[in-house]
Structure 1
Amino acid sequence: MATIDAGGSGGLAEKVISYDATVRSVVAMAKDPGFTPENWAPLAEFVAVDEFERVGTWLEVSNWQEYTEFLTKWATSSAFDTTLLRISELPGLVYYEVEERHQRQDGTLDVVRSLSVFVFNEEGKICNLEVFLQQPR
């Protein structure tokens, strides 16, 4: 069952939930021929594209273009689903914890928990995304 803490109650948690729904809708199109990183444009509406920085689970850093290229490779290689575990909003940031299930093309199912920290700029756009991962041995 999901835990929701709207302590910051600035609507940022709702933006993260909408961001996640947009990721899901674009991922559903990712296996179509002709899909490109430009198809992630609906997601860019949530993001401060020029200042965006993502720090991944191996501390790799990417800008918006690099991140959408990463998303395209990921989305075309597996099917996924998530379950919201917790979401908490503080002023200017949201903690978003989910259980992720990734079904690989070879049939392998990977189940992990991730915590994403979304940092927003003064305009309410995502400018930083940091991802933390728990996975079985």
Structure 2
Amino acid sequence: MVAKVFENIDEAAERYSGLARKAIDYGRFQKRLMDRAVAQVPDYSPDEWLGLKDLVTDDFERIGNFKEVMTIDQMIAFLQAWAPTSAWEGSFKRVTEHDNVVILELEERVQHDGHWNAVNSVSIYEYNDEGKLRHLDVYLQAVPGDVEKGESYDV
């Protein structure tokens, strides 16, 4: 069995290249914007989330932890609304890359409405041959009752 090591995502990213690094950097991009949004940095703009479009295909699809399906435009709208109200942090566990698929395991911690939840997550990134993300599946493992579908997840 491969040991699961929790470490800083930025430090772990330095060891990877290729699509594995792209998957990690995708999350780091979102983390930077979430931090800017929640801190209400004066030059933060919700339009910064439009930068995600440079990383994905036109037909991108995300299937989230509640089986909600989002296009890139729906996901950006969700993140623009959610980011200023929530804090996110994560610890790296491991990443696996095969062909055009990357499996990324994290422990994620989210604060919303003053309450912190910790979950184990597995995200499966499917890239096209040009290295753009075309599909993302998100799976969560949580203590029962810790993760509830709230209005912020409505798309």
TM-score by length of 1: 0.85
**Identity within the alignment, %:** 34
1:96 maps to 104
Cross-structure match for 2:52: 43
Q: Is residue 81 of structure 2 the alignment partner of residue 73 of structure 1?
A: yes
User: Residue deviations 1:26-48, cap 9 Å, x none?
Assistant: 11222437732x21133332211
CA deviation map 1:5-42 (0-9, x unaligned):
xxxx9710011111111111111222437732x21133
Give me the whole-angstrom Cα distance separating, in 1, the residues matched to 2:138 and 2:61. Answer: 11
| Unmatched segments (≥5 aa) in structure 1 | none
Aligned pairs (5 A) from 1:1-137: 1-2=5-6, 11-31=18-38, 32=40, 35-36=45-46, 38-48=47-57, 50-105=58-113, 107-137=114-144
The answer as to whether partners of 1:101 and 1:112 remain within 8 angstroms in 2 is: yes
Looking at secondary structure, tell me which structure has more helix per residue: 2
Conservation of the 8 A alpha-carbon contact between 2:56 and 2:134: yes
Q: CA RMSD in A?
A: 2.2
Structure 1 range deviating more: 68-77 or 24-33: 24-33
Give the conservation status (yes or no) of the 8 Å contact 1:10–1:91: no
User: Structure 1 residues 10 and 101, CA, compared in 2 at 3 Å: closer, same or farther?
Assistant: closer
Following superposition, which runs of at least 4 residues in structure 1 exceed 4 angstroms of deviation? Answer: none
Deviation at 1:2, TM superposition (A): 5.0
Are residues 75 and 128 of structure 1, via their aligned partners in 2, closer, same or farther at CA, if it must alter by over 3 Å?
A: same
Q: TM-score, normalised by structure 2?
A: 0.75
